[in-house]
């Protein structure tokens, strides 16, 4: 039984600093809710001068060596908000070995080494809490572990990278190119100088990997994810999608099927009538489909100092209640479902949008239609865009009914080899989310 929980904070940048300030600002409410006082007694960070100024004379020990957190016997919980895989992983593993509970916001570390980390925590009898690792201030981890725990989860789909969503929203609003909208995101501080992790889908893949493991009882397996980013998207496809009644969003998707679990990240056409299509700017949203509850959508700020701090502190509250009442940690994932595997991307089923550059001459539509028929792909709609004045070619936009990824890829290869086709085929998936 404890009445004070001592916290060591690794990282004192945007998230770490916000975590400290929210803990301090809301200390009275947090104590009332948990029955225990939470206090940060030690901070480890690179820029100690900046940290001292932010601490403003508070009685907190400050250093630059993460081993100080592990070696301090007075600390009950280590909060890791440094980011990156190393030295974050070494700190987390050492803290677990020392018998300390861990709260982390590090999705890359968990998606890559989560199995090792969670296994070590279970063996040591400590908890690793990670609400802040997915979708910032949106409590999706707790929703899956607690509020939706009665359900057999059927699928999860989420806009879980604010940078990409801002770029896509800006491309739609302005008609500007991807490069111009990326530059705008960097100017506003929404995108890093090197935005690769965001725009190429890795960040979203880390997050959906974690959600998939929670939902379906699989080991954490980032390597099973099919990842496709938004850097090759063109404004014309966003415009055509609008004409057809869709908006393009970068989605993280995981689904339970009879043949295995789908795990993928890619741009997708979402019908405008779905709430997900209206999620704009840097906002995040996650839709969960359960067998008992139906669909549930959580929406909010997916990044930033205080939204992420909100999730970190929610985990600290859980750990503090456990320590205050002398309870044992709850297993993080429970037992793995040994019967569940992963579905190869070629076997996933979706419907598709294709934009095909062709010569403006008779017989082209017939040639393309024949390829779809040969691959048993049913076409929902087909339209030929008017050729610009003086242009030698035009474009066909096709929407298909549901088919396998393998079938559509075979069809695309055949179409691109046609003499009447003048460019590579643009292929996007459609997600109804119903």
Going by the DSSP 8-state scheme, the letter that residue 401 receives in this structure is -
Inter-residue contact 344 to 161 (CB < 8 Å): no
pLDDT of residue 397: 95
- Residue 207 annotated to the active site: yes
User: Is the pLDDT confidence value at 18 over 80?
Assistant: yes
Q: Is the dihedral of CA 74, 79, 81, 83 positive or negative?
A: positive
Phi, psi torsion values for 384, nearest 5 degrees: -100, 125
Q: Which domains does the chain have, with CATH numbers?
A: 4-136+305-325 (3.40.50.720), 142-300 (3.30.360.10), 345-430 (3.30.70.260)
Q: What is the pLDDT of residue 336?
A: 64
Listed in sequence order, the residues at least 6 apart from 225 whose beta carbon sits closer than 8 Å to its beta carbon are: 205, 208, 209, 263, 264, 265
Q: Report the alpha-carbon distance of residue 127 to residue 120 in Å, rounded.
A: 10
Q: Strand, helix or coil at 142? A: helix
Using an 8 Å Cβ cutoff, are 279 and 130 in contact? no
pLDDT reported for residue 334? 64
CB-based contact 155:291 (threshold 8 Å): no
Rounded CA separation 39/21 (Å): 11
| DSSP structure string for 195-260 | -HHHHTSHHHHHHHHHHHHHHH-PPP-GGG-EE--STT--HHHHHHHHHTTEEEEEEEEEEEETTE
Average pLDDT, the chain: 93
Residue 238, pLDDT > 80, answer: yes
For the chain, count helices (H), then strands (E): 15, 17
Six-digit token string for 163: 């940078």
Backbone angles phi, psi at 198, to 5 degrees: -80, -55
**Other beta carbons within 10 Å of 341:** 13
Q: pLDDT tens digit string along 309-343? A: 999 999 999 999 999 888 777 777 666 666 778 99
Residue 80 contacts residue 105 (beta carbons within 8 Å): yes
pLDDT in tens, 253-308: 999 999 999 999 999 999 999 999 999 999 999 999 999 999 999 999 988 899 99
Cβ partners under 8 Å of residue 42, min gap 6: 8, 9, 60, 61, 62, 63, 68, 69, 72, 75
Q: Are 396 and 383 in contact (CB under 8 A)?
A: yes
pLDDT digits (tens, 9 = 90+) for 127-174: 999 999 998 889 999 999 999 999 999 999 999 999 999 999 999 999
DSSP class of residue 15 equals: H
The catalytically annotated residue of 100, 107, 207, 249 is 207
Structure tokens at 26: 């809301």
Q: Pick the residue with more confidence: 383 or 39? A: 39
Residue 124 structure tokens: 């040591």
Q: pLDDT tens, 63-108?
A: 999 999 999 999 999 999 999 999 999 999 999 999 999 999 999 9
Parallel/antiparallel/unpaired status of strands 426-430 and 349-359: antiparallel
pLDDT digits (tens, 9 = 90+) for 351-398: 999 999 999 888 888 999 999 999 999 999 998 877 666 567 889 999
Q: How far is CA 328 from CA 102, 109, 319, in A?
A: 14, 25, 10
pLDDT of residue 176: 95
Q: Which residue has the tokens 């001459």?
A: 361
CA angle 75, 28, 35 (to 5 degrees): 60
Contact call for residues 163 and 191 (beta carbons, < 8 A): yes
What mean pLDDT do residues 225-247 have?
96
Is the CA virtual torsion 329, 330, 332, 338 positive or negative? positive
């Amino acid at each position: 039984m404890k009445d004070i929980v001592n916290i060591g904070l690794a990282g004192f940048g945007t998230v770490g600093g916000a975590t400290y300030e929210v803990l301090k600002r809301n200390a009275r409410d947090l104590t009332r809710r948990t029955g225990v006082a939470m206090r940060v007694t030690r901070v480890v960070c690179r820029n100690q001068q900046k940290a001292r100024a932010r601490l403003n004379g508070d009685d907190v020990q400050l250093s630059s060596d993460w081993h100080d957190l592990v070696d301090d016997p007075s600390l009950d919980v280590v909060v890791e908000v440094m980011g990156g895989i190393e030295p974050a992983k070494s700190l987390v593993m050492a803290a677990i070995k020392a018998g300390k509970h861990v709260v982390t916001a590090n999705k890359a570390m968990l998606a890559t080494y989560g199995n090792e980390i969670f296994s070590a925590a279970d063996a040591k009898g400590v908890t690793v809490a990670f609400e802040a690792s997915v979708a910032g201030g949106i409590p999706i981890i707790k929703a899956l572990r607690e509020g939706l725990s009665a359900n057999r989860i059927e699928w999860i789909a989420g806009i879980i990278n604010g940078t990409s969503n801002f770029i896509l929203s800006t491309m739609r609003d302005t008609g500007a190119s991807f490069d111009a909208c990326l530059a705008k995101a960097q100017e506003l501080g929404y995108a890093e100088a090197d935005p690769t992790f965001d725009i190429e889908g890795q960040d979203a893949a880390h997050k959906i990997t974690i959600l998939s493991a929670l939902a379906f009882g699989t080991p954490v397996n980032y390597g099973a994810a099919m990842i496709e980013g938004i850097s090759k998207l063109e404004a014309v496809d966003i415009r055509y999608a609008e004409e057809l009644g869709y908006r393009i969003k970068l989605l993280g998707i995981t689904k339970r099927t009879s043949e295995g679990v789908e795990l993928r990240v890619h741009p997708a056409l979402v019908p405008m009538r779905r709430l997900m299509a209206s999620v704009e700017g840097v906002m995040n949203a996650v839709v969960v489909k359960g067998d008992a509850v139906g669909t549930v959508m959580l929406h909010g700020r997916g990044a930033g100092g205080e939204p992420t701090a909100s999730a970190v502190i929610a985990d600290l509250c859980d750990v503090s209640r456990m320590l205050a009442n002398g309870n044992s940690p709850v297993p993080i994932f429970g037992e793995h479902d040994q019967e569940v595997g992963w579905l190869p991307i070629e076997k996933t089923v979706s419907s598709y949008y294709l934009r095909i550059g062709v010569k403006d001459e008779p017989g082209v539509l017939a040639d393309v239609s024949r390829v779809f028929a040969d691959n048993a792909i049913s076409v929902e709609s087909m339209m030929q865009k008017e050729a610009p004045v003086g242009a030698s070619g035009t474009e066909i936009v096709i929407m298909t009914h549901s088919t396998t990824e393998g079938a559509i890829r075979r069809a695309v290869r055949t179409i691109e080899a046609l003499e009447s086709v003048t460019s590579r085929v643009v292929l996007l998936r459609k997600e109804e989310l119903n």
